[in-house]
Amino acid sequence: MVVAGALVANGLLLLAQRSRPPELAGMWELPGGKVEPGESPEGALERELREELGVETVVGQQLAGDVDLAGGLVLRAYRVELMSGTPAPLDHSDLRWVDARGLVGADLVDADRAWVPELSGMLRQP
């Protein structure tokens, strides 16, 4: 399983720009990564966000609908609350906070598009 986090603050959602692989580099995603053996999905997501963004988070509600990825992986997304730190692109090319219009207009990785309607409803409207 792969887990991803929707970090929303002040009506804006944090998007992260992938630096790899070449076919996905430059595209934007909800930050996260693979669940390792012995980890819960929530624990894995907190670890990934610590490693990738340098922040401490608490994982909240799951977003609706898991997404099938290539290679038999399943992608699941959760609401995430920021507890401490300021997100930094430790593993991504860049970070960006987007409102509803910015999310709809972003060059998102395909898998994450499933959550655009649900996420847009949580964000500041233009």
Kindly state whether residue 46 participates in binding ligand C5P, applying the rule CB under 6 A: no
- Please give the residues from 55 up to 94 whose contact with ligand C5P meets the rule CB under 6 A: 69, 75
| C-alpha span between 109 and 24 (Å, rounded) | 7
Contact map string, positions 16 to 35, toward ligand C5P, x by CB under 6 A:
--------x----xx-xxx-
Alpha-carbon gap, residue 53 to 95, rounded angstroms: 9
Indicate the SS3 state at residue 43.
Answer: helix
Q: Which residue type occupies 118?
A: E
Binding residue (CB under 6 A) for ligand C5P from 19, 89, 93, 109: 109
- Residue 111 one-letter amino acid: A
Contact between 101 and ligand C5P per CB under 6 A: no
Residue at 43: amino acid letter: G
Interface residues with ligand C5P (CB under 6 A)? Answer: 2, 4, 24, 29-30, 32-34, 69, 75, 109, 111-112
